[in-house]
Structure 1
Amino acid sequence: MTLCRMVPELFPHVRQLDINILGELRLRPDTHSTVIALGGIETVFLGPIEDMVPALGPGREVCIAIQQMVFHTLFMKKLELYGQDLKQDIYNPYNIRFWKELDPDNGLLGYWICDGAPDQCLGNIYSIITEL
């Protein structure tokens, strides 16, 4: 994601950064469990974010909202892996978020992952606009 490379330069003094990733993840039934087992979902959606966060420097709060299916898949995976040690928070009255640590030796380097948009296929937004 080019945007992730640009954020530290465009917003050098940002203290809180919220990014909502809107996308649609379509996995074939025969590859779904393999992609999840290999961490493919996490890599595809969050890989560029994990390069951006350290470049922002210390003292920044970053929260990434990802589509609900992906969020719940990751959340359950992390909850199973870390149990009660998984750092969780209520992000607003309706959404939960969990902490993704990037450096185990420095618990402050990481970002929040939160529940984003529902998994509704909206189709091509341009065709909706032209039909109005």
Structure 2
Amino acid sequence: MFLTILFSRNLHAQFGFSYHESALPFVGINYEAGNRLLTEFRLSTNIYLGDLAIEGIAALKLGRSEELDPYVGLGIRLAPDEDESAIVIPVGINVYPFPRKTFGFHLEFTPLIRGEDFGNNIIRGSWGVRYRFEK
């Protein structure tokens, strides 16, 4: 019991929701484990269901600030059209400007590596909102 209390005091985990606006918009459901790891499941928006893409990422948080939360990660995007599937490398920052650190904004730049043809790769820029449910 002592070990449970000791470790749970230093570790927190919480779920969250995000919306990313871009030419390839998406929503995400995320899970923050501790202060360093963010995992997110993403789903395309504003498209036909037949074109729906899913994405999964794991990101390492680089900062320790409560207001600014930079991160870099790695993930995969799976789409019905094989040419749209990609390896993703999200690099971004979350900003929580309000006293309660549950609602914030984010900016993200993500290279989508789509295979051997370099001309088929893109860099997706997105911005949006992020909400973290209470701990």
Same-fold call, TM cutoff 0.5: no
Larger % of strand: which?
Answer: 2
Larger % of helix: which?
Answer: 1
